[in-house]
Amino acid sequence: MSNQNTNTYRILSDMVDSLTDSDIRKIAGLINKKINQGEKIFNLTIGDYNPKVFPIPQEFTKEVYNAYLEGHTNYPPIVGEAELRKTLSKFILERENLEYSPDEFLVGGGGRPLIFTYFISCVNPDETVVFPVPSWNNNYYAHIVKAKMVIIETRPEENFMPMAELIKPFIKDASIIAMCSPLNPTGTVLQKENLTNLCNLILEENTRRKKINVKPVYLMYDQIYWLLTYKNYKHYNPVEINPEMRKYTLFVDGMSKYFAGTGIRVGWGFGDDEVITKMKALFSHMGAFPPKPEQIAASRYLANKEWVDSYINNFKEEVSKRLFKFYDGFMNLKSKGYKVNAIEPQAAIYLTVQFDLIGMKKPDGKIIESTEDITAYLLDEAKVGLVPFSAFGSLNNPTWYRLSVGTCTLDEVSEILYNLESCLSKLT
């Protein structure tokens, strides 16, 4: 052992030793360092909420408390509380016109265990995963299951959504196509025509595979922001578009985003019975379920339509105010000649913004040469933390960023825009 080259010797599996940390966490580390040094930083990097600004529903909090008082502190069923799965079945039927039985649900500790389950269930080592960038974490999950990655670079002209024709050349080798709509990080949605084309592509491919007895390609459809759409934008799902997609669609959903419950960790996945049943064995060995009291509370809360509608309507209004105030501010800066841009808010808690600053000179005479330079300049001069799309796997869009509004107040939006104009005005 002592003669091994320390540069190549691995102490764990090749997969774990080569797994890198999230770039978002690295940026968060820089921000936290500045905060700990006493600087006032506006952290718009994280897809999370400040509970003081966006608290979870009061009724849900009370139901969690009640569930603990009632003694629901033993193990829940591995696949989720029966009453919760029954409530979820009714919830999506009423709100999305999706008909899935309670047995076709898996309840997990947020969306991550469900995504992991889908990947490891559908993809053998060296098989292909297709996903667009920018997108959240697909590259890490593909790495974990030792898959080949086909990365589809998207463009601002299409709101960073992948066109079906870009996926078509790679579908014959794909085991999973991983999609998210509304999309993290862009806050944009798949349009009906584009999703229809994608569904047709998958169905055509699976017809071919069935004839030669090859396992199908599945569409993993992460819709965890789907209740947060604005203006005339609408969320579409594959099974609504084409009922034949029911066999091949694996949904990801949960309470994290549209109930500001990122720490509650009540997520759910659902799909066709034949597929979900086979996944239950794997899921049973993961122990990835939420605490039983939270499951009991979620069942009671989601069953009350008045509670849910009241919270969602108010929540959407508050998030929308922030997104559009930022958007209007960026359009104002653009009209003044600053090299910025933004895409109109469509959904989720994110605004897609651009700082086209590469090649510009800072006050210290140094030239901004990279995404890292832009990120650092905005953090140092404007005291604003943003996440570049490069942190979401995109290599072709070095000047585009995700701006998250989950932690800021309306008053802070004005201050942030003032800071941004001040720092942009110093560039030549």
Listing DSSP states for 86-153 in one string gives HHHHHHHHHHH-----GGGEEEESSSHHHHHHHHHHH--TT-EEEEEES-SSHHHHHHHTT-EEEEEE
Q: Per the structure, how many domains does the chain have? A: 2
Residues 132, 281, single domain; the answer is yes
The token duo for 100 is 């899935």
Does residue 185 carry a pLDDT above 80? yes
Please report the pLDDT score of residue 7 as a whole number: 59
pLDDT in tens, 48-96: 999 999 999 999 999 999 999 999 999 999 999 999 999 999 999 999 9
Domain end point (choices 309, 338, 358):
309
Cα–Cα distance measured from residue 382 to residue 217, given in angstroms and rounded to the nearest whole number = 46
Cα–Cα distance measured from residue 233 to residue 235, given in angstroms and rounded to the nearest whole number = 7
Please report the pLDDT score of residue 2 as a whole number: 42
Residues 377, 414, single domain; the answer is yes
Is residue 8 assigned to a domain? no
- In the Cβ-directed half-sphere of 324, how many Cα atoms lie within 13 Å? 11
Cα–Cα distance measured from residue 420 to residue 402, given in angstroms and rounded to the nearest whole number = 15
Cα–Cα distance measured from residue 161 to residue 94, given in angstroms and rounded to the nearest whole number = 28
Dihedral (CA of 40, 43, 48, 53) sign? positive
Element (H, E) at 202: helix 192-211
CATH of the domain at 243: 3.40.640.10
Q: In which region does residue 178 sit, left (phi positive, over 0), alpha (psi from -120 to 50) or beta (all else)?
A: beta
Residue at 121: amino acid letter: S
Is residue 344 assigned to a domain? yes
Q: In which region does residue 345 sit, left (phi positive, over 0), alpha (psi from -120 to 50) or beta (all else)?
A: beta
Does residue 6 carry a pLDDT above 90? no
pLDDT in tens, 201-238: 999 999 999 999 999 999 999 999 999 999 999 999 99
Is residue 6 assigned to a domain? no
The token duo for 369 is 């040469």
pLDDT in tens, 293-307: 999 999 999 999 999
Residues 252, 399, single domain; the answer is no
Residues 287, 321, single domain; the answer is no
- Asked if 331 and 115 touch (Cβ cutoff 8 Å), the reply is no
Does residue 184 carry a pLDDT above 70? yes
Is residue 410 assigned to a domain? yes
Number of H helices, E strands in the chain: 14, 13
Confidence label for 8 from pLDDT (cuts 50, 70 and 90): low
Domain of 38 in residue numbering reads as 14-54+312-424
Radius of gyration of the chain (CA): 22
- Asked if 24 and 364 touch (Cβ cutoff 8 Å), the reply is no
CATH of the domain at 390: 3.90.1150.10
Residues 171, 222, single domain; the answer is yes
Does residue 1 carry a pLDDT above 50? no
Residues 217, 357, single domain; the answer is no
Supply the mean pLDDT for the chain: 95
Please report the pLDDT score of residue 242 as a whole number: 97
Residues 195, 277, single domain; the answer is yes
The token duo for 425 is 């005005």
- Asked if 128 and 383 touch (Cβ cutoff 8 Å), the reply is no
pLDDT in tens, 305-340: 999 999 999 999 999 999 999 999 999 999 999 999
Instruction: Say which DSSP state 396 is in.
Output: S
Residues 271, 333, single domain; the answer is no
Domain end point (choices 291, 309, 327):
309
Place of tokens 């005291």: 383
Please report the pLDDT score of residue 384 as a whole number: 97
Is residue 5 assigned to a domain? no
The token duo for 394 is 């995109």
Query: Which residue would you say has higher pLDDT here, 14 or 276?
Result: 276
Provide, rounded to the nearest whole percent, the portion of the chain with pLDDT above 90: 91
Is residue 195 assigned to a domain? yes
Cα–Cα distance measured from residue 87 to residue 37, given in angstroms and rounded to the nearest whole number = 47
Residues 100, 216, single domain; the answer is yes
Please report the pLDDT score of residue 3 as a whole number: 45
Is residue 329 assigned to a domain? yes
Domain end point (choices 256, 283, 309):
309
Work out the angle between the directed axes of helices 292-302 and 82-96 (0-180°, nearest 10). 30
Confidence label for 33 from pLDDT (cuts 50, 70 and 90): confident
Confidence label for 4 from pLDDT (cuts 50, 70 and 90): very low
Please report the pLDDT score of residue 238 as a whole number: 98
Please report the pLDDT score of residue 100 as a whole number: 98
Please report the pLDDT score of residue 139 as a whole number: 93
Does residue 25 carry a pLDDT above 80? no
Please state the rounded mean pLDDT for residues 374-402: 95
Residues 249, 265, single domain; the answer is yes
Strand partners of residue 152: 132
Residues 89, 117, single domain; the answer is yes
Residue at 115: amino acid letter: I
Residues 240, 378, single domain; the answer is no
For the chain, the first-to-last Cα distance in angstroms comes to: 56
Please state the rounded mean pLDDT for residues 133-140: 94
Cα–Cα distance measured from residue 163 to residue 152, given in angstroms and rounded to the nearest whole number = 9
Please report the pLDDT score of residue 368 as a whole number: 98
Does residue 277 carry a pLDDT above 90? yes
Instruction: Say which DSSP state 11 is in.
Output: S
Strands 249-254 and 218-222: parallel
Is residue 91 assigned to a domain? yes
